[in-house]
């Protein structure tokens, strides 16, 4: 990192901290909830600082970092290309053995959560679909309130199921590399989660009843954490959140909003690990679009 850029980054970090302190004071003293960082004037000022300092241009001129991280299944076999590139063919009927669960009670169940802790507790106890029978841990997702980016993937994998943490395997490490290239970090700028909170056995695609049952948790998380932007990674997450069954190669060329939040669609980090020559460049283009939405 250039010295001036590092100084700028440090100054911006201090600025975020001051803003967060001011928001807390407003909240505690006047019981007023204001997100100062999201005020249009503030975003415009930050954007112009980044543009005038050349940081935006430099990021745009760079390339997505290469990775020597390899993605693999729990048994050590390689992840199949078909996992990432084929169009969605959701089964019309559930194969999970659970009745369809998209009635209003499921939505009320999630909607009654008052905060993230409520959601985490309910997800960990959840038996709304058959995935509760095979999970080791549910993975509610984690991160900060009012994140600059909420990353949404499809479902936990083997390592996430083992730990209860989102995106901790090779794909998660690579995702961290992407975010780091944008100067975004877990614990400060991000909330990371999935549409489905429990791992489908063998990493199969989730069934429609599982998606229907679990989606209200994600919607409630979005309402509570109020992300500035959403980065939707992977074919299945993209098809579910856009409501469009087109392939991800086409979906990523459009911009969306989900629950009122601007959303960018891109390939899953696992797909890029499997095929960096094909996917690194388009992912980097997508991340630049995301960056412009943040500031
Ligand atoms: S996948 Fe979602 S709906 Fe199904 S049991 Fe887990 S938390 Fe509940």
In three-state secondary structure terms, 78 is strand
Does ligand 1 have an atom closer than 6 angstroms to the CB of 286? Answer: no
User: Contact at 8 Å (CB) between 199 and 161?
Assistant: yes
Place of tokens 């089964």: 91
Q: 107, 132, 164, 208: which to mutate for ligand 1, most atoms within 8 A of CB?
A: 132
125 within 8 A of 166, measured Cβ to Cβ: no
pLDDT in tens, the chain (295 residues): 567 666 676 676 667 667 666 666 666 566 556 666 555 566 666 666 666 777 666 666 666 767 766 554 444 444 443 343 333 333 323 333 333 334 456 677 888 898 999 999 999 999 999 999 999 999 999 999 999 999 999 999 999 999 999 999 899 999 999 999 999 999 999 999 999 999 999 999 999 999 999 999 999 999 999 999 999 999 999 999 999 999 999 999 999 999 999 999 999 999 999 999 999 999 999 999 999 999 8
Residue by residue, DSSP assigns 11-57 as HHHHHHHHHHHHHHHHHHHH-----GGGSHHHHHHHHHHHHHTTHHH
CA angle 150, 132, 263 (to 5 degrees): 15
Q: What is the structure's pLDDT at 218?
A: 97
What residues form DSSP beta bridges with 190?
149
Calculate how far, in angstroms, residue 131's C-alpha sits from the geometric centre of ligand 1: 6
Cβ of 131 closer than 6 Å to ligand 1, yes or no, is yes
**pLDDT at position 109:** 80
Instruction: Round to whole Å and give the CA distance between 31 and 167.
Output: 35
- Is 197's C-beta closer than 6 angstroms to any atom of ligand 1? yes
Question: Does residue 123's CB lie within 6 angstroms of at least one atom of ligand 1?
Answer: yes
142 Cβ partners below 8 Å, 6+ apart? 165, 166, 191, 192, 193
Name the residue with the closest Cα to ligand 1, atom 4. 129
Render 163-214 in DSSP notation, one character per residue. Answer: HS-SS-SHHHHHHHHHHHHTT--TTTTEEEEESSSSPPGGGPPPPHHHHHHH
| β-bridge pairing 229-233 and 261-266 | parallel
What pLDDT is recorded for position 59? 61
**231 sits in which H/E element:** strand 229-233
Ligand 1 centroid vs 272 CA: distance in angstroms?
A: 28
Domain 82-294 falls in which CATH fold?
Uracil-DNA Glycosylase, subunit E (3.40.470)
Distance CA 59, CA 51 (A): 10
Every domain of the chain and the residues it spans: 3-61, 82-294
Q: Sheet containing 142-143: give its strands across.
A: 142-143, 190-194, 149-153, 229-233, 261-266, 256-258
């Amino acid at each position: 990192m250039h010295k001036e850029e590092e100084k700028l980054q440090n100054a911006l970090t201090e600025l975020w901290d001051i803003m967060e302190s001011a928001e807390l004071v407003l909240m505690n003293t006047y019981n007023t909830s204001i997100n100062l960082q999201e005020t249009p004037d503030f975003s415009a000022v930050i954007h112009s600082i980044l543009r005038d300092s050349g940081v935006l241009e430099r990021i745009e001129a760079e390339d997505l970092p290469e990775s020597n991280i390899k993605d693999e299944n729990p048994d050590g076999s390689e992840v199949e290309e078909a996992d990432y590139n084929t169009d969605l063919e959701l089964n019309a009927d559930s194969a999970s053995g659970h009745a369809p669960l998209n009635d209003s009670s499921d939505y009320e169940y999630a909607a009654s959560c008052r905060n993230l802790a409520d959601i985490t507790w309910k997800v960990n106890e959840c038996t709304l679909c058959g995935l509760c029978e095979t999970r080791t841990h549910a993975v509610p997702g984690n991160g900060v309130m009012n994140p600059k980016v909420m990353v949404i993937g499809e479902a936990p994998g083997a390592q996430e199921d083992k730990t209860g943490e989102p995106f901790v395997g090779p794909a998660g490490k690579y995702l961290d590399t992407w975010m780091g290239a944008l100067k975004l970090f877990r614990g400060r700028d991000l909330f990371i989660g999935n549409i489905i909170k429990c791992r489908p056995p063998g990493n199969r695609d989730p069934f429609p009843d599982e998606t229907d049952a679990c989606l209200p948790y994600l919607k409630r998380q979005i309402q509570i954490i109020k992300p500035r932007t959403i980065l939707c990674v992977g074919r299945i997450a993209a098809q579910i959140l856009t409501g469009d069954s087109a392939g991800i190669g086409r979906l990523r060329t459009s911009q969306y909003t989900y629950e009122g939040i601007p959303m960018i669609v891109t390939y899953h980090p696992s797909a890029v690990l499997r095929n960096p020559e094909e996917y690194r460049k388009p992912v980097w283009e997508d991340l630049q679009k995301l960056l412009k939405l943040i500031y």
